[in-house]
């Protein structure tokens, strides 16, 4: 798994023709409060039951609040054969501080 900081993820999103999946694993109330536009919301507790909705060959950036839950989910995805997994280091909080100041922080 790769760990990329928010600026690196933004560069990746800007440079690639095929946009990676932005997988937000926070709880519903967190996702409702703020998100990176275009993210797919699958709470951490639902990952196992919804694994079939994800493409193991697609580049996937996993997102949470500070980067810890997403790290755990990214590890799990790798153990299930996902080969292009990226953890957003610092989570959406770092994204809001470093990339998009319009994203509310909590």
| Catalytic residue annotation | 64
Phi, psi of 50 (to 5 degrees): -115, 15
Which residue(s) pair with 2 in the sheet? 86
Phi, psi of 10 (to 5 degrees): -60, -45
In terms of Cα–Cα distance, which of 37, 44, 56 is closest to 102?
37
* Cβ atoms of 96 and 65 closer than 8 Å: no
In terms of Cα–Cα distance, which of 105, 76, 81, 78 is closest to 93?
105
């Amino acid at each position: 798994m790769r760990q990329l900081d928010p600026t690196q993820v933004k560069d990746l999103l800007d440079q690639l023709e095929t946009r990676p999946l932005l997988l937000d694993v926070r709880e519903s109330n967190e996702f409702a409060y703020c998100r990176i536009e275009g993210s797919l919301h699958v709470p951490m507790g639902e990952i196992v039951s919804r694994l079939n909705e994800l493409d193991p060959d697609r580049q996937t950036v996993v997102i949470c609040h500070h980067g810890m839950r997403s790290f755990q989910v990214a590890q799990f995805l790798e153990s299930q054969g996902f080969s292009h997994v990226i953890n957003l280091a610092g989570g959406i909080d770092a994204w809001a501080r470093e990339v998009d100041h319009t994203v509310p922080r909590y």
